[in-house]
């Protein structure tokens, strides 16, 4: 449930950003980067930073995840919406599609992990008799989800560095 909600929230914001990206991207240019460990670490740290911001909802009972997902999703969609016309269809397939499905799935998992406490609390409240939730069990579940997301981001950064570049 939390994965579905996190994905819906983040991808909804992504679609909003893409929809609102300017149609004229003539001022943008493609920057060629050399594959290597420096680029890999830059990509990985950027993606883990976004993932950690989404996962922060575990500490704030899920509340920090909502604005983080809306902001990061819309910015990513806006960026993709600008990049696609510059790269063209062949360039988009070559430079974005190899790593983006894995990267976006990992980001959606991070958002889902951050929403675990909020959704667990809502479910317990909707049962009609709120019970004390197993905070530790929820935290462990959220951490497992985030660990899978981070592993996916490591793999996606490798693909982005050595395949998509």
What is the model's pTM? 0.83
Contact 82, 21 (CB under 8 A): yes
pLDDT at residue 89 tops 80: no
Structure tokens at 31: 């920057």
97-123 per-position pLDDT tens digit: 899 899 999 999 999 999 988 887 777
Residues 130-148: tens digit of each pLDDT: 555 566 778 888 999 999 9
Torsion over CA: 150, 30, 68, 22 (sign): negative
Q: How far apart are CA 164 and CA 64, in angstroms?
A: 32
Question: Helix crossing, 100-126 with 37-55: angle to 10°?
Answer: 10
């Amino acid at each position: 449930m939390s994965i579905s909600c996190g994905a819906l929230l983040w991808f909804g914001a992504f679609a909003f950003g893409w929809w609102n990206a300017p149609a004229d991207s003539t001022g943008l240019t493609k920057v060629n980067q050399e594959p290597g460990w420096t680029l890999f670490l830059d990509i990985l740290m950027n993606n883990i930073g976004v993932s950690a911001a989404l996962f922060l909802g575990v500490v704030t009972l899920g509340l920090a995840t909502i604005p983080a997902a809306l902001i990061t999703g819309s910015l990513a969609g806006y960026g993709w919406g600008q990049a696609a016309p510059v790269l063209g269809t062949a360039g988009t397939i070559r430079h974005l599609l190899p790593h983006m499905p894995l990267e976006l799935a990992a980001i959606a998992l991070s958002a889902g992990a951050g929403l675990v406490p909020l959704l667990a609390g809502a479910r317990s409240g909707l049962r009609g008799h709120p019970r004390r939730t197993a905070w530790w069990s929820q935290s462990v579940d959220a951490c497992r989800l985030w660990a899978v997301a981070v592993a996916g981001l490591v793999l996606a950064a490798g693909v982005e560095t050595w395949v998509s570049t």
